[in-house]
Chain A
Amino acid sequence: QVQLQESGPGLVKPSETLSLTCTVSGGSIKNYYWNWIRQPPGKGLEWIAYIFHTGNTNYNPSLKSRVTISLDTSKNQSSLRLTSVTAADTAVYYCAAALGYGSNWFDPWGQGTLVTVSS
């Protein structure tokens, strides 16, 4: 059973860079597409990006200019970087797996980590 755990700073200053890591356990990182999804407090879900172990990536066009997703297969970790953050980037950030090859629903999900953008 694949399990995901997000980690990273809970507080980031405006204009700085948000960096998060998702650690994967219980399965091979090569078997899934690794996604980041966020949810502002009290609001809905927004898909951010995915990466596959081949290096194939895809980004939400609305965030593409500020987002970088990466994968460290030796550590079984996916990472997210979001630059030039504002208060609008305050959200719970989730990592989630997708099987890919058209089967792009999200399962499982990590528990999520709240990132607050504030000075």
Chain B
Amino acid sequence: DIVMTQSPDSLAVSLGERATINCKSSQSVLYRSDKKNYLAWYQQKAGQPPKLLIYWASTRESGVPDRFSGSGSGTDFTLTISSLQTEDVAVYYCQQYYSTSWTFGQGTKVEIK
């Protein structure tokens, strides 16, 4: 299995400030033939199912605010919230869909400082 490791486990950010979450895969999730990174990001608020934010590492899902952005390639990826809002308090997960056994990171909890 590809192991996904997120950092930090939690972070507290002031309203309007930037939040950065990292995700590292144990092997590359960049598929050479199509040059796509097989990585997605999800947001999970308390008591709710996860919500898709980003796929192909940097493509924002329709309706997701543009303060959310994804970057990175190969084994190292970042989810950035450019200006944290109250409604962004949640746990964020990365997920690889490169291998035939799909795996998630352990999650990063984002809170307001």
A45 in contact with B52 (CB, 8 Å): no
- Tell me, in angstroms, the Cα distance from A106 to B1 when the chains sit together: 18
Using known A-B contacts A61-B1, A102-B38, determine if residue A45 contacts B50 with beta carbons closer than 8 Å: yes
**Interface of chain A, main secondary structure:** loop
Residues in chain A near residue B42, CB distance under 8 A: 106
Question: Per a CB cutoff under 8 Å, which of A46, A60, A104, A109 touches B38?
Answer: A104
Residues of B within 8 A of A94 (CB): 49-50
Q: How large is the interface on A (under 10, 10 to 19, 20 to 34, 35 or more residues)?
A: 20 to 34
Q: Which of A25-57 contact B (CB under 8 A)?
A: 44-47
Say yes or no: is A58 at the interface (Cβ < 8 Å to chain B): yes
Number of interface residues of B (CB under 8 A): 25
B49 touches A44 (CB 8 A): no
**A118: B residues at CB distance < 8 A:** none
Interface residues of B in 86-108 (CB under 8 A from A): 93, 95, 97, 100-107
User: Once bound together, how far apart are the Cα atoms of A86 and B66, in whole Å?
Assistant: 43
Tell me the A60-119 residues at the B interface (CB within 8 Å).
60-61, 94, 96, 98, 102-107, 109-112
Interface positions of B (Cβ within 8 A of A): 1, 31, 34, 36, 38, 40, 42, 48-52, 55, 61, 93, 95, 97, 100-107
